[in-house]
Amino acid sequence: MYRKALKMEGFEGVEKRLEMAFSTGARLRQKLTEEALAGILEPVECYIISSKSEEHVDAYLLSTSSCFVHDDRIIVKTCGKTTIFKCMAGIIRTASPQVVTSVLYTRGEFIWPEKQPSPHKSLADENAHLKELVKSIPGLKVMDPLVTGNENMWHVLGAFSTAEVKAEEDVVTVEMSMKGLDTEKASVFFKKTSSNMTEASGVKCIFPGAKLDAYDFEPCGYSMNGVEGKAVSTIHVAPEVGSSFASFEVFGYDFKRGKKFNEVVTQVLATFKPKKFTLTIHSTTVRLNGNEPEFLLDLGGYTCSEKKVKHLGHGSIIYYCF
């Protein structure tokens, strides 16, 4: 497996995440078939392990994380030494530059930044490269980067349409990037310890109504996609001692009327017990101020060391470091 080949030199679990949104009527799922997506991802140096198609989304487990394709949006997450920007040209060509309304790139601080391929060795190089790529998309304005100010940094780059974009509803994404996992919790994600990591770890209890597609890597590591109606969730774990890492993401859940936000975060932390983590909340159409009742946190045992709010296009992002 791809993961096994990289383990000897230390596996980079911290992911790069690319999200591209499109105008209503883009019909991305119809255009971006599994065969087409496989070809687009090849230059990134990852491949499709399995897929699950539901009414509103096509969910793919990749050799280096996940990909989700909606009619108006694609999310690609890759870890290791992947070159995620290399999939952009194929996606833009498939959908048409005229229907792209936003490009958002996020990532945490790499464990081994010096081992990353260009342009991912530095935020400045990534930003310059992204600016060049979005030149082919008419009407997008590149935002100033969001860079956090501590050792557990989070980076946000993006470009957004300058025109008024009509959205049927606000979509919220929550990302958690966790380092220094509890040794006992991390041990579950080794093949020699668990024959079924989904069952042993308890991750299925976070969203019990979701349809799961999971993969246990050899000799260690774990990936999971969950689909529940229009909403998706994904978990990725690199449990190696000295560089243990886990990521958690949910997209499209309604925390006002559905499962409570603080409850979900608490369950994730109980699953991994990280020494430190970052958390971001991204709203596509609402200007959040960081004090919304549905997003308040009460996390015993963790102290927030940094909080930032940044407006992104027509929406916003809230960042926390614990």
pLDDT tens profile 149-198: 665 678 888 888 877 666 567 889 999 999 999 999 999 999 888 788 99
Active site residue 161: no
Q: What mean pLDDT, rounded, does the chain reach?
A: 89
> 235 with 222: CB under 8 angstroms?
yes
Does the pLDDT value for residue 6 go beyond 60?
Answer: no
pLDDT tens profile 20-40: 999 888 889 999 999 999 999
- Residue among 66, 177, 201, 223 flagged as catalytic: 223
Does the pLDDT value for residue 147 go beyond 90?
Answer: no
Active site residue 304: no
Three-state helix/strand/coil letters over 304-315: CCEEEEEEECCE
Check residues 273 and 165 and name the one with the higher pLDDT. Answer: 273
Tell me the average pLDDT across 65-69: 96
Element (H, E) at 103: strand 100-108
Does the pLDDT value for residue 1 go beyond 50?
Answer: no
Tell me the average pLDDT across 217-225: 93
Question: What local confidence, expressed as pLDDT, does residue 76 receive?
Answer: 97
Choose the weakest-confidence range: 115-129, 149-163, 201-215.
149-163
Element (H, E) at 213: strand 211-216
> 15 with 116: CB under 8 angstroms?
no
**pTM for this entry:** 0.92
Does the pLDDT value for residue 7 go beyond 60?
Answer: no
- Residue among 12, 19, 126, 240 flagged as catalytic: 12
CATH number assigned to the domain with residue range 2-321, chosen from the 4 options 3.40.50.720, 3.40.190.10, 3.30.565.10, 3.60.90.10: 3.60.90.10
The pLDDT confidence band at residue 63, using thresholds 50, 70 and 90, is very high
Nearest to 45 by CA among 6, 93, 94: 6
The pLDDT confidence band at residue 3, using thresholds 50, 70 and 90, is very low
- Residue among 70, 120, 236, 314 flagged as catalytic: 236
> 144 with 130: CB under 8 angstroms?
no
pLDDT tens profile 282-303: 998 888 888 888 898 999 889 9
Question: What local confidence, expressed as pLDDT, does residue 4 receive?
Answer: 44
Question: What local confidence, expressed as pLDDT, does residue 166 receive?
Answer: 62
Question: What local confidence, expressed as pLDDT, does residue 5 receive?
Answer: 37
Token couple for 313: 């296009």
- Residue among 67, 79, 87, 321 flagged as catalytic: 79
Question: What local confidence, expressed as pLDDT, does residue 111 receive?
Answer: 84
Check residues 234 and 26 and name the one with the higher pLDDT. Answer: 234
DSSP secondary structure letter of residue 38: H
- Distance CA(133)–CA(114), nearest Å, equals 23
Does the pLDDT value for residue 8 go beyond 50?
Answer: no
Active site residue 223: yes
- CA angle (51, 56, 62) in 5-degree steps: 25
> 72 with 171: CB under 8 angstroms?
no
Does the pLDDT value for residue 139 go beyond 90?
Answer: no
End-to-end CA distance of the chain: 33
**What is residue 156's three-state secondary structure?**
strand
Question: What local confidence, expressed as pLDDT, does residue 108 receive?
Answer: 86
Tell me the average pLDDT across 208-227: 93
**What is residue 225's three-state secondary structure?**
strand
The pLDDT confidence band at residue 232, using thresholds 50, 70 and 90, is very high
- Residue among 63, 65, 233, 316 flagged as catalytic: 65
Active site residue 15: yes
